Structure 1
Amino acid sequence: MVRIAFVCTGNTCRSPMAEGLARHILGPGVEVESAGLAAWGGDPANGKAIQVLKEKGIDIASHQARAVSRDILASADWVIPMTQTHERQLKDAFPEWSSKVKRLGAWHSQGKYQDVRDPWGGSVETYRQCAQEIETLLHEVKTGLKAH
């Protein structure tokens, strides 16, 4: 069983979408969770994130935000943040686990993607574009996991 923790800022947009999408894309044998570097514990997923994933048949309505913790990082095989800044913050705060921190865009085979931009405050279409980018990158993660 491979355990992955997705990390963004508030754990209400990108990382819950990544968690929901990953459950469908990565399949059995991969356990996923998410957290935020500046999350308010218990906040729901953003309504637009819920709507966009619902359009894909994925329900994240029961998601509750939580902050990154040592326990989350310790139990994960991979910690996948959304941006280079998140990656740097995680590696600085938790150097003992820096070898398993790899931002989502870094899994892309051609290194084409950098950061998954935060859709917060954007339109539903902005959330759809973000979800599509995450979905594309999760297929790269799936390929990368097979290689490990």
Structure 2
Amino acid sequence: MGLKLLFICTGNTCRSPMAEGLARKIFGDSVQVGSAGMAAYGGESANTHALEVLKEQNIDLSRHFSRRISAELMADADWIIPMTQAQEEALKRLFPEYAEKVRYLGDWGEQKREVVDPWGGSLEIYRQTAQEIGNLLSAIKSYLA
């Protein structure tokens, strides 16, 4: 297996699972992907809107269960990719030994932008978030190519 990418959001039920599912589709078998949350409880299913939006793209998140970020997960990944700059900064403070491999999702292309948490939003907001994540993942794919 090639490169290992770990996507991070707050609870690991919306943005990072969507990024994980979309990355599997975009990168295929060339990259191993996972996700975790800064404040995840662990064992929660993906948000129902996240499940629905990715199902529309033939991506199945039904087996996803949230997990909290840990030193072990950080050590195992080649790149740790949080959704916001604040999460990037927090991860670098919590795990300084892995700071060089932490870079937020919106910092890979020319547009510096954060992926806003869709939690509590409508299905359409989740669709917009998934589209934004997909666009940003394309920038990562170009960068890593």
Report the TM-score when normalising by structure 1: 0.96
Deviations 1:104-123 (A, max 9, x none): 00011x2x132100000000
Separation in 1, partners of 2:101, 2:37: 17
1:129 aligns to 2:134 (yes or no): no
For residue 114 of structure 1, give the secondary structure of its aligned residue in structure 2.
coil
Hey, what does 1:78 align to over in structure 2? 79
* Partner in structure 1 of residue 105 of structure 2: 104
Match of 1:114 in 2: 113
Task: Provide Cα deviations, 1:44-96, integer angstroms capped at 9, x if missing partner.
Answer: 00000000000000000110000000110001000000001110110000000
Percent identity over the alignment is 55
Please state whether the residue corresponding to 2:29 is helix, strand or coil.
Answer: coil
Aligned residue identity for 1:124: L
TM superposition shift of 1:131: 0.1
1:36 matched residue in structure 2 = 37
CA distance in structure 2 between the aligned counterparts of 1:85 and 1:12, rounded to whole angstroms: 18
CA RMSD in angstroms comes to: 0.6
Given residue 27 of structure 1, which amino acid in structure 2 is its aligned partner?
G
**C-alpha separation in 2, matches of 1:113 and 1:27:** 26
Shift of 1:28: 1.8
Deviation of the 1:5 alpha carbon: 0.3
Aligned to 2:70: 69
TM-score by length of structure 2 reads 0.98
Deviations 1:10-33 (A, max 9, x none): 000000000000001012220000
**What is the number of residues matched between the two proteins?**
144
Question: Structure 1: which 4+ aligned runs deviate by more than 3 Å?
Answer: none
Aligned to 1:25: 26
Which structure 2 segments of 5+ residues have no match? none
CA distance in 2, matches of 1:55, 1:70: 34
